[in-house]
Amino acid sequence: MMPTLTLLNKKQRALIVTILAIVFLMIVIVIGVVLDKESISTNLKHRNASPTFEHPFGTDWLGRDMFSRTFMGISLSIGVGLIGAFGSTLIATILGVISATMGKTADRIVSWLIDLFLSVPHLVTLILIAFTFGGGFKGIVIGIALTHWPSLARIIRAEVMQIRSAEFVQISRKMGKSSWWIATKHIFPHILPQILVGFMLLFPHAILHEAAVTFLGLGLSPHEPAIGIILSESMKYLSAGMWWLAFFPGLCLLFIVRTFDMLGENIRILMDINIDHK
């Protein structure tokens, strides 16, 4: 009775945290979308202003409101993370299923690709791919999609191989069910929770790596209010005592990444999935 009660309380806490995290992220996205772009226009009369009620995050050297720039940058990062994580999850699902169902040759090739990508740090490969595709939004999205799939692909491969050998799948085969029927009725419903949780856990990695590459000048355009660009530009002014230029954007980025991480972990708890995603 006690283990059941403990598990129930744990799931209840996970559900509450999940709801709060989703509400928080929706508020951040809505704020970033509804903010008027005029608020980040140049206004030299208010330049280098420290945080006030009118400008909670202060203003920069061009008089642009840092609160608006930060939330627009966070919304942009979430959009990049969403597209990049979706692409990476799609690649992981396709390769994981191919590896587990298309024979030993396909399994060797996919396993070799997984080991190859895991042997090089994500950030290094991401920079090379983003640079190859010319940087910008397209380059960073393609880079994220092509570098964050290996761990999830390995998990999906193992899950599909386990399901294929399950007794209910073997019975379906003996009953004459087609491979497509087995895939849609047995395999895909079982790996869907892993795909969903893996997608959510890719988000914080994607957002952080996008900010890092943009900070280095190989990501989004300097004209975009991206967090990486804001942090990169603010480095030149920190020695002049303008601490708010980096503090608030960096803190907001940390909160967003941590929120997505908590969201993925609590969805994993709600679905009773054990995923060690790195």
Is 85 a domain residue? yes
**How crowded is residue 45: how many other Cβ atoms within 10 Å of its Cβ?**
7
- Please indicate whether residue 217 or residue 105 has the higher confidence score (pLDDT): 105
Is 6 a domain residue? no
Cα-based distances in Å from 18 to 56, 64, 200? 28, 34, 12
Is 179 a domain residue? yes
pLDDT at position 90: 92
pLDDT at position 87: 92
The winner for highest mean pLDDT among 48-57, 108-117, 216-225 is: 108-117
Check pLDDT > 80 for residue 41. no
pLDDT at position 2: 44
pLDDT at position 8: 56
What is the CATH classification number for the domain harbouring 166? 1.10.3720.10
Quote the pTM value: 0.80
pLDDT digits (tens, 9 = 90+) for 152-206: 888 888 888 888 777 887 887 788 777 777 777 778 888 888 888 888 888 888 8
Question: Considering only 46-50, 89-93, 95-99, 145-149, which range has the smallest mean pLDDT?
Answer: 46-50
Check pLDDT > 50 for residue 5. no
67 close to 57: Cβ distance less than 8 angstroms? yes
Q: Which residue has the tokens 């940087």?
A: 135
Is 34 a domain residue? no
Number of domains into which the chain is organized: 1
Q: What would the mean pLDDT of 1-16 be, rounded to a whole number?
A: 64
Q: Which residue has the tokens 């226009």?
A: 41
pLDDT at position 273: 57
pLDDT digits (tens, 9 = 90+) for 125-156: 888 888 888 778 888 888 889 988 888 888 88
71 close to 180: Cβ distance less than 8 angstroms? no
25 close to 78: Cβ distance less than 8 angstroms? yes
Is 63 a domain residue? no
Is 27 a domain residue? no
Question: Can you give the residue range of the structural domain that contains 203?
Answer: 69-271
Is 190 a domain residue? yes
Is 126 a domain residue? yes
